[in-house]
Amino acid sequence: MTVLNSSNDLDRIRRDFPVLSQNGLVYLDNAATTQKPRCVADRLYKFYTEEYGTIHRGVYQLSQQATDFYESSRETVRGFLNARSISEVIFTKGTTEAINLVANSFGRAFLKAGDEIIISGMEHHANIVPWQQVCEATGALLRVVPLQDDGAILMSDFQKLLSDRTKLVSMVHVSNALGTVNPVSEIVKLAHGVGAKVLIDGAQAVSHVPVDVQALDCDFYVFSSHKLYGPTGVGVLYGKEDFLNRMPPYQTGGDMIESVTFEKTTFAKAPARFEAGTPAIAEVIGFAEAIRYVQTIGFDYIQKQESLLLAYATAQFEKLSGVTIIGTASEKASVLSFSIEGVHPHDIGTVMDDLGIAIRAGHHCAQPVMKRFGVAATARASFAFYNTTEEIDMLVMGVKRCQELLA
């Protein structure tokens, strides 16, 4: 693995992302989606122009090769997560589909009236709404762990909510709206203590922190490729193999069966069991390329650079009057949500855009978080390892511009 340790490395890394050299672009919306390194785009192009074929069914060489690429991408993801087996890695469309899969399959098969599902007050809508739907269908109840004023989860309240009625705990690893990093190991241990299964929503985590699902011992871990420098349309559901094979299929059709007659169908084991239909073949292969790219950069470098950026941005923002940072937990990833007194977050977004700065303004698909902090929306800058302190200086200039024009 390449060791990166000088500021020249940052220049070199930025050159890997062609879009970043576009005139004047300051891209600070990495929590929504990350930019793509050239190697990922090249991999997609090569597959589509020279190697394209379907998987799992053709006897001809193109199809067999595509199958090998697709299945070796599963091995790349397995290694990335340190899962025990490739059977534990299911390709989905993304985090949202992975959570819906578990909600529909596990939820409908294993939950009954009076059972409880615990989530936290900082969940993305993707980790709220599917559970509400399951509760409606089964009579299970949704319990929500409240947040401290700094945006950290109230662990004592979590412990109080846990009981033998708790069948599932589904929590975010890193909050997209606040940046809070949750103590997921502790959450898993406590939940397992009452016999509950645990799903961790890693959509915002996998690009910032190394994840080892065996060490974590979670039952499910979900994330999206497009937030990890990979293509859109692909995500992962990690699940423990024994349990996956006890769960009923979510979608049915081709590729997920063992045998079909008009009288009866039997289903394949995981992962095929949960991959009905032709998947996003090229995108899965491009996703593996993105993971290899991230592994070459290395989490030591990523964490060093991103914590430097977060500390720098936080210090600059704390000096600004009339600006409030929302989400100040001691364990934070590189997300900076803020509001400017007297300025609507959407106007902040527009002024920033005029300066070439891409940030997100809105409720970040986390309306309950906005309600908890008494705001309708926030502006959010989110940093990746390819961002620079100069870009943060531009962001600060953008805030001052908003105040001049609008406050």
List residues with catalytic annotation.
365
Compute the C-alpha angle 340/346/347, nearest 5°. 70
3-class DSSP state of 114: coil
Ranges within 71-130 binding ligand 7TS (CB under 6 A): 94-96, 124, 126-127
CA angle 45, 294, 5 (to 5 degrees): 125
147: left (phi over 0), alpha (psi -120 to 50) or beta: beta
DSSP letters for 277-323? S---HHHHHHHHHHHHHHHHH-HHHHHHHHHHHHHHHHHHHHTSTTE
Q: Rank residues 97 and 289 by Cβ distance to ligand 7TS and give the closer one.
A: 97
Q: Which of 340, 325, 334 is nearest to 373 (CA)?
A: 325
- 87 or 176, CB closer to ligand 7TS? 176
What is the DSSP code (8-state) at residue 173? S
Q: Which stretch binds ligand 7TS (CB under 6 A): 11-19, 150-158, 305-313, 359-367?
A: 359-367
Q: Minimum CB separation from ligand 7TS for residue 326, in Å?
A: 14
Q: Is 228 within 8 Å of 31 (Cβ atoms)?
A: no
Pairing of strands 235-239, 89-92: antiparallel
Q: How far is the CB of 205 from ligand 7TS (least distance, A)?
A: 8
125 vs 292, which CB is nearer to ligand 7TS? 125
x/- mask, ligand 7TS, residues 162-201, rule CB under 6 A, reads ----------x---x------------------------x
Closer residue to ligand 7TS (CB): 170 or 305 = 170
Residues 6+ apart with CB under 8 A from 126: 95, 96, 99, 201, 203, 365
Asked whether position 204 contacts ligand 7TS by CB under 6 A, the answer is yes
Please identify, using beta-carbon distances, which residue of 105 and 180 lies nearer to ligand 7TS. Answer: 180
Query: What would the two tokens of residue 104 be?
Result: 């529909």
**Sole window of 57-65, 152-160, 340-348, 360-368 interacting with ligand 7TS (rule: CB under 6 A):** 360-368
Least distance (Å) between residue 370 CB and ligand 7TS: 13
Q: Name which of 73 and 92 has its Cβ closer to ligand 7TS.
A: 92
Per-residue DSSP letter, 204: T
- Of these, 4, 118, 145, 203, which contacts ligand 7TS (CB under 6 A)? 203
Total site size for ligand 7TS, rule CB under 6 A: 17
Which one, of 360, 362, 342, lies nearest residue 404 by Cα? 342
Q: How far is the CB of 53 from ligand 7TS (least distance, A)?
A: 27
Q: How far is the CB of 237 from ligand 7TS (least distance, A)?
A: 11
**String of contacts with ligand 7TS for each residue 1-40, x by CB under 6 A:** ------------------------------xx--------
Least distance (Å) between residue 137 CB and ligand 7TS: 21
With CB under 6 A as the contact rule, which of the stretches 56-64, 319-327, 358-366, 370-378 interacts with ligand 7TS?
A: 358-366
The nearest distance, CB 182 to ligand 7TS, in angstroms, is 11
**Which token pair is 193?**
């203590």
- Give the whole-angstrom CA distance, residue 283 versus residue 101: 20
* 283 binding ligand 7TS? (CB under 6 A): no
Decide whether 94 or 349 has the Cβ nearer to ligand 7TS: 94
Q: What is the CA radius of gyration of the chain?
A: 22
Output the six-digit token pair for 61. Answer: 């060489």
Q: Which two tokens stand for residue 147?
A: 């947040």
The CA-atom distances, in angstroms, between 76 and each of 59, 85, 86, 158, 183 are 24, 11, 9, 35, 26
Edge-to-edge strand order for the sheet containing 323-326?
A: 323-326, 335-340, 378-382, 360-362
**364 near ligand 7TS, rule: CB under 6 A:** yes
For ligand 7TS, the binding residue among 120, 224, 378, 403 (CB under 6 A) is: 224
Structure tokens at 353: 């855009």
Closest CB 333 distance from ligand 7TS, rounded Å: 11
Residues that bind ligand 7TS (CB under 6 A): 31-32, 94-96, 124, 126-127, 172, 176, 201, 203-204, 224, 360, 364-365
